[in-house]
Structure 1
Amino acid sequence: MIEKLELKQLRTLSVLLQTGSISAAAEALGVTQQAVSAQLNRLRSLLGDDLFVRSGQGIAPTLYARSLQTQVQQILTAVQAIPLPGQQDLRTLERTLVISATDYTQHLVALPLATALRDWAPGVRLKIINIESQALTRRMQQGDIDLALTTSGYVPNGLTSIALFTEEYRLCSAHLSIPQDQALALSELAGFDFVVTSPGTADFKGSAQDWFERRGIERRVVLSVPSFYMAQRALQMSPMVAFLPARLPLLAGVYCLPLETQPPGYEVVAAYHPGAASDPLLVQVLSWLQNRF
């Protein structure tokens, strides 16, 4: 029957143990003496003990009731300590923040955030995982993932996102036989083998595919990899080309090729579940990201 105990009954028990009087307990709780007596009778039924016996002008706790005093007070103190939304002290918060991100945003966004967290939320541990695409909404709803760093076109239904910055593409290669002294026309790109980065989806389109198709240009994509690091390693090992984010640091030997017309950029966003919108840690993280980028 313990599981049927209610907080108001525990408060009544606590005040009765402190005052030793039904009338004084009623005054302290702001209720009638009849209400206190009703709660006491309910407690006696649930706990199987008289809890209090008459003594002079008041009531005296039984041995069992006295044994409960410390535990009851601990429960009430713990409940009182539960913060309301927005009232948590981030400096004393202890939890794990899980961020799903591509290797590009891991390097550019998540790692600087890890350093910043040490200043204003030292008890928070940061877990960075590879980008989740198939079940992102469900995993966020379940609390498995707190934040996703991705592009605006890959935010699934059911999530909220804020824009961080707009990224530009650059055509890159590591094969010195490709001329670098003049800008390439888009039509010339059809003669190259491409590697595309498709984190989480593993397709051969790449994020600029629609732009090429609208111009009637068919690229020859021969390799799809899940990370920009692997794309650069592929460039180092073969005469392929790839479109890489402009802010991405280039590996040794990888260089940019001039183009007459650049493909459009894309928006990097931070996505989260709307149910977490009032989470003070997430609010602070989003504020930091927007101010940083």
Structure 2
Amino acid sequence: MIEKLELSHLRMLSALYEKGSVSAAAEMLDVSQQAVSLQLKRVREIFGDLLFVRTGHGMVPTAYGQLIQPHVRQLLAMVHALPMLTSIPLKDIERTLNISATDYAQRIIVGDLLHALRGAAPRVKVKISNIESASLVRRMQDGEIDMAFTSNGYVPEGLLSTSLFTEKYICVTGTPLTNGLELLSLESLVAFDFLVVSPGVPSFDGSAGGWFAQQGLRRRVVASVPSFFMAMDYLRRSNMVAFLPSRLLPCDDLFEVLLEKYPPGFELVAAYHPSVMSDPLLSWILDHVRTQCAAAR
């Protein structure tokens, strides 16, 4: 029966202990005397004891009522001590923050974020993992991931996302294809072998596959890697071409290929589960990252 005890029952008992009468307790709680009497009847049923008896000096606790009095006070004190969501300073938050991000986002976003967190929330420990789109929703629901930084195309249904900025692509290669000033036509570009970056889900399509098809062209993709930094290393040692985000360039030993037109870029977003929208730490992170990204534009 104890599981049927409610917080209002504890407040009613506390008022009776303090005031010693139903009418005074009702006034203290700003309810009717009938409401107090009904609650007392219900609590008596739960505990199997009268708890209070009427005497010439008002309502007096029974022996069992006296026994549970300190427990009632302790329970109410614990409830009142519960911190409000916005009352916990960041410097006092002690937890582990789990971030999932593409290697691009780790370079552009997470590095600065880690530095800022050390100053604002020094008790927060951070775990960084590579993005895995297929399991992202489940891992966020289970609390394994708090926030993800990735492109908008890799945010699964069921998650919310906040746009941070739009990135553009630049075509690069490990071997100069032009004199650095000449524009290369797309028809000439597709004569070369392509390397694509496909984080999370291996694929030969890449982000620009559909765009080339819209141009009436078909490129030949011969390699797919999960990170841009792997792509940079492979490009240096081959004659392949690839599209890389502009914020990762310039890069030693890679040469830009100027084109007549470029595929659309991608939107970098912060993704999170709806259940964490009121989390003060994650709210601070979103505000910080948005501010930093806006300043970098």
Smaller-chain TM-score bracket: 0.7 to 0.9
- Which deviations, in whole Å up to 9, do the C-alpha atoms of 1:209-258 show, x marking residues without a partner? 2222222332221111111122223224433332211112676x541223
**Structure 1 residues 148-227: aligned runs within 5 Å:** 148-174=148-174, 176=175, 181-183=180-182, 184-227=184-227
1:86 Cα deviation from its structure 2 partner: 5.2
Q: 1:16 to 1:238 in 2, by over 3 A?
A: same
Q: Which residue of 2 aligns with 1:259?
A: 258
1:77 Cα deviation from its structure 2 partner: 3.1
Q: 1:103 to 1:67 in 2, by over 3 A?
A: farther
1:289 Cα deviation from its structure 2 partner: 1.7
Q: 1:117 to 1:69 in 2, by over 3 A?
A: farther
1:6 Cα deviation from its structure 2 partner: 0.8
State the AA in 2 paired with 1:256: F
Q: Which residue of 1 aligns with 2:80?
A: 80
1:163, 1:81 → 2: CA distance? 37
Q: 1:249 to 1:66 in 2, by over 3 A?
A: farther
1:132, 1:257 → 2: CA distance? 30
Q: 1:63 to 1:234 in 2, by over 3 A?
A: farther
Q: Which residue of 2 aligns with 1:269?
A: 269
2:258, 2:12 → 1: CA distance? 77
1:153 Cα deviation from its structure 2 partner: 2.7
State the AA in 2 paired with 1:132: E
1:157, 1:94 → 2: CA distance? 31
Q: Is the 8 A contact 1:99 1:145 kept in 2?
A: yes
Q: Which residue of 1 aligns with 2:50?
A: 50
Q: Which residue of 2 aligns with 1:101?
A: 101
Specify every segment of 5 or more residues in structure 2 that has no aligned partner in the other structure, as ranges.
Answer: none
2:292, 2:213 → 1: CA distance? 35
Q: Is the 8 A contact 1:195 1:241 kept in 2?
A: yes
State the AA in 1 paired with 2:259: E
Q: CA RMSD in A?
A: 2.9
1:57 Cα deviation from its structure 2 partner: 0.4
3-state SS, counterpart of residue 191 of structure 1: coil
Q: 1:64 to 1:228 in 2, by over 3 A?
A: farther
1:143 Cα deviation from its structure 2 partner: 4.2
1:161, 1:17 → 2: CA distance? 51
Residue-pair matches, total:
291
1:85 Cα deviation from its structure 2 partner: 6.0
State the AA in 2 paired with 1:207: S
Q: Is the 8 A contact 2:99 2:128 kept in 1?
A: yes
Q: 1:40 to 1:92 in 2, by over 3 A?
A: same
Q: Which residue of 1 aligns with 2:116?
A: 116
- Which deviations, in whole Å up to 9, do the C-alpha atoms of 1:31-82 show, x marking residues without a partner? 2333323322322221233323445402333444334334323332333345
State the AA in 1 paired with 2:51: L
Q: Is the 8 A contact 2:86 2:280 kept in 1?
A: yes
Q: Is the 8 A contact 1:197 1:227 kept in 2?
A: yes
* Length-normalised TM-score, structure 1: 0.84
Q: Is the 8 A contact 1:232 1:250 kept in 2?
A: no
- Which deviations, in whole Å up to 9, do the C-alpha atoms of 1:176-220 show, x marking residues without a partner? 475554544323323332221111121001111222222233222
Q: Is the 8 A contact 2:176 2:257 kept in 1?
A: no
Q: Which residue of 2 aligns with 1:38?
A: 38
Q: 1:140 to 1:288 in 2, by over 3 A?
A: same
3-state SS, counterpart of residue 157 of structure 1: coil
State the AA in 1 paired with 2:132: E
Q: Once the two structures are aligned, what percentage of the paired residues are identical?
A: 52
Q: Is the 8 A contact 2:103 2:229 kept in 1?
A: yes
2:74, 2:230 → 1: CA distance? 54
Q: 1:220 to 1:117 in 2, by over 3 A?
A: same
Q: 1:104 to 1:188 in 2, by over 3 A?
A: same
